[in-house]
Amino acid sequence: MKRKFFPKKIFIVEDDPLYIKIVKYVLELDPEHEVHVFTTGKECIDHLYLNPIMITLDYTLPDMTGNDVMEAIKKYNSNIGIIVLSGQPEISVAVDFMKAGAYLYIVKDDDTKEKLLLTVQRLKKQIRLQEEVDFLKDELGDKYDINKNLIGKSKSMLRVQKLISKALQTNISVTIQGETGTGKEVVAKTIHYSSNRKKGNFIAVNVTAIPRELLESELFGHEKGAFTGASTRKIGKFEMANNGTLFLDEIAEMEISLQAKILRALQEREITRVGGTQNIPFNARLIVASHLNLAMEVEKGNFREDLYYRLLGLPIEMPPLRDRENDIFLLAEHFLKNFCHENKLPLKILSKEAKAKLISYSFHGNVRELKAIIDLAGALSEEKIIEKGDIQFNSPKGRASFLDKEMSIKEYIHQIIYHYLEKYDNDVLLVAKKLNIGKSTIYRLLKTDKTQN
């Protein structure tokens, strides 16, 4: 997705002809600027639909005070950068404007031109950085679009997609449960980047990845001197996620004592930094995830019941890959296409034998494991077709995990026979001997499958 650049509209709101000339000269030094001049506050407000990125605002106007104009501008779009120009040198006036959201207050004097030029450059840099952030967030939004990102047509995945759509209609908290590698964080990001909070930050915290003694500080932040080593103030994840989404992964692993503090933060909608006394309000959507069953953890006494109900919100159960029918093929083809694109390789496809090998595997690592297998196959394959031999399983749990599948005895027998045929290079006599069955049974199986295919 290529970014488009447009002229930057800047308003001058000034009734003094001399300063109109000075400010207009400074702004038009950059040919990127499209400058509009207004001599009254009402004219400026009436033209805000042009969406300026920046406004230089005179403190004293013939029809309105600078405060009133600024309030109207901020109400229309709080992201517009405002530089106040004034003949009033009082510090209190400047402080009031800065508190109201002005970028800078410049006193009109002989150095106004130089001060304004430097301020405009700095403000533009800040605006440009924010545009880059917004642009990247839009790209992430495309990446995590619910229709593009959550691949699968199985009943279980259609159910997940339906629940995500429900989650997007409100700001309800979400609890995602499922085995490792099923895509819990992907679902969390999809909800965030498809919601009305997508302009805010998505902050992810893996509870198990942070030492327990540091987790409270990581979540709530700390004040300087709060403990040994706290040399500066630290902003916590709750504050960083304000107006966005906070994703707490593996929430079931959190200590009971910290769970109580999380509960209080959610009830009061405010936090207190470690070592601090100030209550800091936060407005973040909370999404939590766990590979453990939270209800069972409550029964075991490992998780607070009151926090469980506070977090539960909309529960989403992520299905294991082995229960997702033909989604394995859809995902495998998707990962293979991405691998070829990222590595500038010709598009490769999976052979019928490779697909058969994939479907016979249990994927204890779920979608994450499938991606690793496909990436390896794409690297190993020397042709445009991924063959059976390119598919390699390196799971520590191995093929024995196929017992996790819910199949008929006949289907289990088929898988066992095919496993041994693959292991012994299709030597039917040897396989029959190993399994203590007649070779006619194996031939009949192969003939039946060939007919069906």
Listing DSSP states for 317-369 in one string gives EPPPGGGSTTHHHHHHHHHHHHHHHHTT----EE-HHHHHHHHT---TTHHHH
Q: Is residue 294 part of a domain?
A: yes
Q: Count of CB atoms within 10 A of residue 116's CB?
A: 22
Is residue 316 helix, strand or coil? strand
Which pLDDT tens digit goes with each residue over 137-178? 555 555 566 666 788 889 999 999 999 999 998 999 999 999
Q: Is residue 402 part of a domain?
A: no
Note the pLDDT of residue 255: 93
The CATH number of residue 40's host domain is: 3.40.50.2300
Picking from 319, 346, 368, the residue at the C-terminal end of a domain is 319
Picking from 120, 139, 158, the residue at the C-terminal end of a domain is 139
Half-sphere exposure of 96 (CA within 13 A, CB side): 12
> Is residue 306 located within the same domain as residue 189?
yes
Task: Please state whether beta strands 314-317 and 174-177 pair in parallel, antiparallel, or not at all (unpaired).
Answer: parallel
Q: Is residue 434 part of a domain?
A: yes
> Is residue 295 located within the same domain as residue 326?
no
The CATH number of residue 196's host domain is: 3.40.50.300
> Is residue 216 located within the same domain as residue 281?
yes
Q: Is residue 45 part of a domain?
A: yes
Question: What is the arithmetic mean of pLDDT over 387-408?
Answer: 68
> Is residue 115 located within the same domain as residue 163?
no
Q: Is residue 2 part of a domain?
A: no
Distance CA 182, CA 230 (A): 37
Q: What percent of the chain stands above pLDDT 70?
A: 90
Note the pLDDT of residue 451: 59
> Is residue 124 located within the same domain as residue 217?
no
Picking from 260, 288, 319, the residue at the C-terminal end of a domain is 319
> Is residue 174 located within the same domain as residue 311?
yes
Q: Is residue 1 part of a domain?
A: no
**Contact present, 434 and 423 (Cβ < 8 Å):** no
> Is residue 121 located within the same domain as residue 166?
no
> Is residue 312 located within the same domain as residue 329?
no
Residue 406 pLDDT grade (very low, low, confident, very high; cuts 50, 70, 90): low
> Is residue 387 located within the same domain as residue 414?
no
Is residue 3 predicted with pLDDT exceeding 50?
no
The CATH number of residue 376's host domain is: 1.10.8.60
Q: Is residue 3 part of a domain?
A: no
Which pLDDT tens digit goes with each residue over 353-388? 999 899 888 888 899 999 999 999 999 888 899 999
> Is residue 189 located within the same domain as residue 218?
yes
Q: Total domain count for the chain?
A: 4
Is residue 407 predicted with pLDDT exceeding 70?
no
Is residue 421 predicted with pLDDT exceeding 60?
yes
Note the pLDDT of residue 4: 47
Question: What is the arithmetic mean of pLDDT over 28-34?
Answer: 87
The residue among 336 and 433 whose pLDDT is bigger is 336
Q: Is residue 144 part of a domain?
A: no
Distance CA 383, CA 387 (A): 9
**Contact present, 131 and 53 (Cβ < 8 Å):** no
Note the pLDDT of residue 446: 72
> Is residue 334 located within the same domain as residue 451?
no
Is residue 408 predicted with pLDDT exceeding 80?
no
- Domain residues for 301? 150-319
Q: Count of CB atoms within 10 A of residue 363's CB?
A: 25
> Is residue 304 located within the same domain as residue 315?
yes
Is residue 104 predicted with pLDDT exceeding 70?
yes
Q: Report CA dihedral (420, 424, 429, 432) to the nearest 10 degrees.
A: -20
Distance CA 193, CA 251 (A): 22
